[in-house]
Amino acid sequence: MLRLHNVHAHYGIGAVLQGVNLDMAQGTIGAVLGRNGVGKTTTVKAIMGLVNVTQGSIFIDGQDITQSPPHIVARAGVGYVPEGRMLFPDLTVLENIQVAQRSSAKQWSTKALFELFPRLEERIHHKGSQLSGGEQQMVAIARALATDPRLLLLDEPSQGLAPKVVRELVDVFIKLKNEGVTLLVIEQNLKFAERIADQMFVMSKGQMVYQASIAQFKNEIDAVKSQYLTI
């Protein structure tokens, strides 16, 4: 459902993405690992239309979205949860969700979102700035789901969260997968990535250098770690 073929991108003169290839099947979870600065965030920004792709192509369900602006990519069914959550601090939980909602949203009504995140219903009138890190991450995910995406891109969703909250996120991601949403998750937390992912991807120096099923990854983990993940 998602295919990147030989994607190149750069900021200014320095090349960042140097031929990224990636393939994901509908209804699966993919985790992207890699050291700092290798181009993980830039890859999801390229999918989202937030950085200029200078070469290569990006397809969603066969639709070519290369070079499409973010609102067209969103309309093609892609949701984005950026690093750092980026909530409106002065808006309440409900308002943060409502600003993203479209009248056409069918799958993820406010009711369905509060069934997924009961804690947010308890905090419905709290402002963004009054929420814990975990609650903020839940609002950021709920806001992205409010557009009924078929593909959800998440940039380091577990970052800075307590272990208990990270375990809750695992359950949420599995539920989303069971609802048919495809997830591409950038993660530094290897344990978390292993718990959620069907497919593991590893980036290095602007390329996707490794792609394997979770079973294969677990067999090769020591080699992958020493080659691409440890500093």
Binding site for ligand ATP (CB under 6 A): 11, 16, 34, 36-42
41 binds Mg ion (CB under 5 A): yes
| From ligand ATP, Mg ion, none, interface partner of 123 (C-beta below 5 to 8 A by class) | none
| Interface stretch with Mg ion, choices 13-21, 36-44, 163-171, 200-208 (CB under 5 A) | 36-44
The span from the CA of 99 to the CA of 62, in Å, is 29
Shortest spacing between CB 18 and ligand ATP, in angstroms:
11
| Interface stretch with Mg ion, choices 38-46, 91-99, 113-121, 125-133 (CB under 5 A) | 38-46
The span from the CA of 196 to the CA of 177, in Å, is 10
Contact 18, 8 (CB under 8 A): yes
Q: Which is nearer to Mg ion, 41 or 182 (CB)?
A: 41
Restricting to residues 89-128, name those near Mg ion by CB under 5 A.
none
| From Mg ion, ligand ATP, none, interface partner of 36 (C-beta below 5 to 8 A by class) | ligand ATP
Shortest spacing between CB 148 and ligand ATP, in angstroms:
27
Chain residues in the site for Mg ion (CB under 5 A): 40-41
